[in-house]
Structure 1
């Protein structure tokens, strides 16, 4: 604030600039009041959140692991948020259709995405998905790391993962693997397995992990790498060869990890499920959702349900999830180019 000219004349009460320390304080107070009035709509919107039902978009069909996780979390979040939280399945393009819907939604926290690693770190490298996962979606929280099973139809004459690789080498192009679609985690892992094992395999994409698993159960496909194989393995309809994950899966304690067999240790990225909002969603809304989501993961029933679907619940901050997405996006992009999938 500029000092007054020293003319010896006082400021009139009609609105001239006040003088001295008292005048400076008055000017600062007016500026603070103006700033508060400009910010009021954003503060009110955050404080009033949520004020209507929340759309919880699962970008895969009903029955997929993403859908199962979405339904567990919406049941837990609804009572905490005080409004209905409703799953909407918007499948297509390896999860990109649902992700784009959320990326283009109003950034007020009432439209959320239950993302799988694939539709944020794989699909954007394979086609023009219409969104930038690092800019157009705001990370909120993670439901945890996802285990997967490498499982085959019982007619495939192998009992272990090394035996599967040996079969693939003996019969180039014979093996095929199903996945939840082009750009899904199962697609990438199948390609990585064939690359590391030095054999040819045919990718057969389906619109979701449930039909992909059913195709192996029916014997139409040989192999799937997905957590949704778990109930089929437990019922004897599929044979599990190994798990993928940070350690052994509690549901299959006697089954070795691929890493224990010397396979997949350098594969980029990881399987995870995370909650995202449109980019530009106010920070207080993100913080509220992160807190309620992480608190839900501490509930015994929620944690047990997620483990049944192959997840290891993991409360983390939005910043931690954002760093994970960025790191996986870069590493997977490089792998896809090397594999000539991108």
Structure 2
């Protein structure tokens, strides 16, 4: 069992500064890197995005041979930090730890100030994230079937918390209610940690997010199912929603990846991709990401770009069908 302190410690601590090696492992690429790299997390401390940012900054610093500093720039469901990176100088020294929602959901819902397919360059994928469907223990439901029945018998009473409008938790809550044919009220928060805490406190009923994992393990929330490519090894006895016949056609996924300003030179992107993927192969890094609910996966920038484009299009169609705007 993983303690909440172990899981969230990286996110709640002071911003991590990686300690560089005394010498660089190789010559710079197009003058990169030549100074501190800003690693922007577009969510508050304690969120899954924050935990992933700090894990990967610690791994990248020694490989790049410079300090890698995490900066939390939260706001507008991740759009504030994402826009800051999109508008930064495209030299590889300002990077974004994006969540799927920043690039494939939020841009459909509001004027975020950036085009995710043009203004941000895909670099590397940290991995897909599993989520847990969790409720406050006081809610009289112990399975997804009972949750659906509760929602149908009490239209508009059930609510779900998320990391904000346009977050993956927002979309998944809406998709669950739509597919299962019940009404639920969306309650947005400024980050996933705050959303999960609201369900623990009983202010909200339901959350679908990786950050619910430690609350479930410590008995503060009740898990009903998981969401992801297969069963989550942290909860081997919990069914995946797909096993229950739910969510098989849901668009997109919950992934975390590294992005740079849109016109960053290809050699810099290639260097970052190589160092990032090499970091994923380190047992300590992979283990840390799994603790945060990710399934690490090394891909090329081109593959990540295709995924973003496909998810962006599919989610746009789903949002229009759900009348979410």
State the number of aligned residues.
299
3-state secondary structure, aligned to 2:29: helix
Match of 2:196 among 213, 236, 246: 213
The residue matched to 1:192 in structure 2 has which SS? helix
Larger CA Rg, structure 1 vs 2: 1
Separation in 1, partners of 2:268, 2:190? 33
Alignment RMSD, CA only? 0.9
User: Aligned partners of 1:56, 1:70: CA distance in 2, in Å?
Assistant: 7
Which residue of structure 1 lines up, in the alignment, with residue 236 of structure 2? 253
Paired position in structure 1 for 2:156? 173
In 2, distance between residues paired with 1:296 and 1:161? 37
- What is the rounded CA distance, in whole Å, between the counterparts of 1:90 and 1:296 in structure 2? 24
Identify the residue that residue 98 of structure 2 maps to in structure 1.
115
Question: Deviation string for 1:106-158 (max 9, x for gaps)?
Answer: 00000000000001000000000010000000000000011000000000111
Instruction: For residue 81 of structure 1, report the CA deviation from its aligned partner.
Output: 0.4
Task: List alignment gaps of at least 5 residues for structure 2.
Answer: 1-26
SS in 1 for 2:202: coil
Distance in 1, Cα, partners of 2:238 & 2:89: 45
The equivalent residue for 1:275 is 258
Counterpart for residue 160 of structure 1: 143
Are the counterparts in 2 of residues 46 and 282 from structure 1 also a CA contact under 8 Å?
Answer: no
TM-score (norm: length of structure 2): 0.91
Aligned to 2:176: 193
4+ residue segments displaced more than 6 Å:
none
Q: Deviations over 1:70-98 (max 9, x none)?
A: 00000000000000101000011110110
Q: Residue 29 of structure 2 contacts residue 271 of structure 2 at CA under 8 Å; is this kept in 1?
A: no
Structure 1 counterpart of 2:65: 82
Unaligned runs of 5+ in 1: 1-43
Summarize the alignment of residues 218-297 of structure 1 with structure 2, pairs less than 5 Å apart: 218-297=201-280
Distance in structure 2 (CA, Å) of the matches to 1:254 and 1:83:
43
Among 31, 35, 48, the residue aligned to 2:31: 48
